[in-house]
């Protein structure tokens, strides 16, 4: 009988959780985005928030909290109540913050509950046409024979991981130049001030035929429909296995009740299956994951952090 109070408390907790989930939502929901308006995340977050508002019967308000390698947005979500009223459009960069910043006030994996990963996205090696190379193979050869190699612009941990993966595969050193965003990288590429930059497909696509730029390769195993004329790194170099991508998904703080996770996941999946949302996803070069379930998404957080974190550490990158 001495176990009865504990069992009663457990049952009461379960019933309270179920009751809260059944009443959910009964007030507006905040959808936190770690990037400024106008980018890939914003292009997906806003139309999805509009549709989710209708599906849930409550306003879903997008809040941009950029800065500090996604740490500002991540901390806000990690320290919020696990009640489903503060959600997060999470990117792969979120998981790599500890490899760039020494003191991160949250655990990028354990302090969050994954709801779904809705898309993966490769990057483009884009080069200024002022450079003496027109392919990735020629760029690598040029870097081998010229002091200082080739300067490559990156905007965050995931874009830097692309460069480090190429360094590991080819044994060639590159000079990494850190930018505050993809926009400034693209501006310098167009102006000829930057030799090569790692940029997102939707940013590069409108300029695919621009004589000022060259698409050298995409960082996934095969060509992408959005950029059919740009080869993969494997195709360009004759190797196999080069695959460094980012991804985007939805999450909440740790201990988000499973009934709320299930409700949000179901509604988001319905919205993403709508023809117009499929078009939005395709237009930014995202590919749906094979398994978007909450369980698979949570597992991806850990595996991605381990894989990319090891790559950054092996390159000698230390948090500042």
The CATH number of the domain holding residue 154 is 3.40.190.10
Residues in the chain: 320
Q: Which of 260, 237, 231, 265 is nearest to 250 (CA)?
A: 265
**In which domain, by residue range, is 153 found?**
124-237
- Contact in structure between 218 and 209 (CB atoms under 8 Å): no
SS3 of residue 291 by DSSP: coil
Q: Are strands 213-218 and 124-128 parallel, antiparallel or unpaired?
A: antiparallel
The CATH number of the domain holding residue 295 is 3.40.190.150
The structure tokens listed for 121 are: 């996205």
Could you report how far apart the first and last alpha carbons of the chain are, in Å? 55
- Asked if residue 257 is part of any domain, the answer here is yes
- Say if residue 233 is in the same domain as residue 286: no
The structure tokens listed for 193 are: 């001030």
Using alpha carbons only, give the angle 318, 104, 198 rounded to the nearest 5 degrees.
Answer: 55
DSSP letters, 236-278, are: HHT-S-----EEEEEEEETT--HHHHHHHHHHHHHHHTSHHHH
- Say if residue 233 is in the same domain as residue 267: no
Strand order in the sheet with 112-121: 60-64, 29-33, 86-91, 246-253, 112-121
Domain boundary among 237, 258, 284: 237
C-alpha–C-alpha distance, residues 142 and 175, integer Å? 13
- Contact in structure between 83 and 264 (CB atoms under 8 Å): no
SS3 of residue 196 by DSSP: strand
For each of the chain's 320 residues, which pLDDT tens digit applies? 454 555 544 445 554 555 555 689 999 999 999 987 777 788 889 999 999 999 999 999 999 998 888 899 999 999 999 999 999 999 999 999 898 888 999 999 999 999 999 999 999 999 999 999 999 999 999 999 987 789 999 988 899 899 999 999 999 989 999 887 788 898 999 999 999 999 999 889 999 999 999 999 999 999 998 899 999 999 999 988 899 999 999 999 999 999 999 999 999 999 999 999 998 888 888 888 999 999 999 999 999 999 999 988 888 888 88
Q: Per DSSP, which regions of the chain are E strands?
A: 29-33, 60-64, 86-91, 112-121, 124-128, 151-154, 175-178, 196-199, 213-218, 246-253
- Say if residue 10 is in the same domain as residue 113: yes
Q: How far is CA 242 from CA 58, 155, 226, 262, 313, in A?
A: 43, 20, 19, 34, 18
- Asked if residue 13 is part of any domain, the answer here is yes
- Say if residue 157 is in the same domain as residue 230: yes
The structure tokens listed for 15 are: 């019933």
Angle between helices 294-314 and 258-272 (to 10 degrees): 90
Q: Which of 212, 182, 195 is nearest to 284 (CA)?
A: 182
Number of domains in the chain: 2
C-alpha–C-alpha distance, residues 15 and 10, integer Å? 9
- Asked if residue 108 is part of any domain, the answer here is yes
Domain boundary among 205, 237, 269: 237
- Say if residue 10 is in the same domain as residue 115: yes
Q: Which of 291, 225, 42, 242 is nearest to 137 (CA)?
A: 242
Domain boundary among 208, 237, 266: 237
- Say if residue 116 is in the same domain as residue 139: no
Strand order in the sheet with 151-154: 175-178, 151-154, 196-199, 124-128, 213-218
- Say if residue 47 is in the same domain as residue 104: yes
- Asked if residue 220 is part of any domain, the answer here is yes
C-alpha–C-alpha distance, residues 254 and 180, integer Å? 29
Q: Can you give the pLDDT at residue 19?
A: 55
- Asked if residue 319 is part of any domain, the answer here is no
């Amino acid at each position: 009988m001495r176990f009865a109070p504990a069992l009663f408390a457990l049952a009461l907790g379960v019933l309270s959780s179920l009751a809260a989930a059944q009443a959910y939502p009964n007030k507006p929901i905040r959808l936190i985005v770690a990037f400024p308006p106008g980018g890939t995340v914003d292009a997906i977050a806003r139309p999805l928030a509009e549709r989710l508002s209708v599906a849930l019967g409550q306003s879903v308000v997008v809040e941009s909290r950029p800065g500090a390698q996604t740490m500002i947005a991540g901390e806000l979500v990690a320290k919020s109540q696990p009640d489903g009223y503060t959600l997060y459009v999470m990117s792969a960069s979120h998981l790599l913050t500890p490899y760039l910043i020494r003191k991160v006030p949250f655990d990028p994996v354990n302090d969050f509950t994954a709801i779904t990963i809705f898309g993966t996205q490769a990057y483009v090696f884009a080069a200024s046409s002022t450079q003496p190379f027109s392919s990735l193979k020629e760029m690598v050869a040029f870097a081998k024979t010229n002091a200082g190699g080739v300067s490559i612009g990156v905007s965050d941990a995931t874009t830097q991981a692309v460069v480090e993966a190429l360094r590991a595969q080819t044994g060639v050193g590159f000079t990494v130049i850190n930018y505050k965003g993809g926009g400034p990288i693209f501006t310098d590429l167009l102006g000829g001030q930057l030799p090569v930059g790692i940029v997102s497909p939707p940013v590069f696509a409108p300029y695919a035929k621009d004589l000022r730029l060259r698409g050298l390769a995409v960082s996934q195993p095969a060509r992408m429909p959005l950029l059919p004329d740009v080869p993969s790194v494997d195709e360009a170099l004759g190797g196999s296995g080069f695959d460094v991508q980012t991804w985007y998904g939805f999450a909440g703080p740790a201990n988000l009740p499973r009934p709320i996770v299930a409700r949000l996941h179901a509604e988001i999946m319905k919205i993403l299956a709508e023809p117009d949302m499929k078009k939005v996803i395709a237009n930014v070069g995202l590919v749906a994951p094979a398994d978007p379930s909450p369980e698979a998404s949570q597992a991806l957080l850990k595996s991605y952090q381990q894989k990319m974190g090891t790559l950054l550490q092996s390159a000698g990158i230390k948090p500042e």
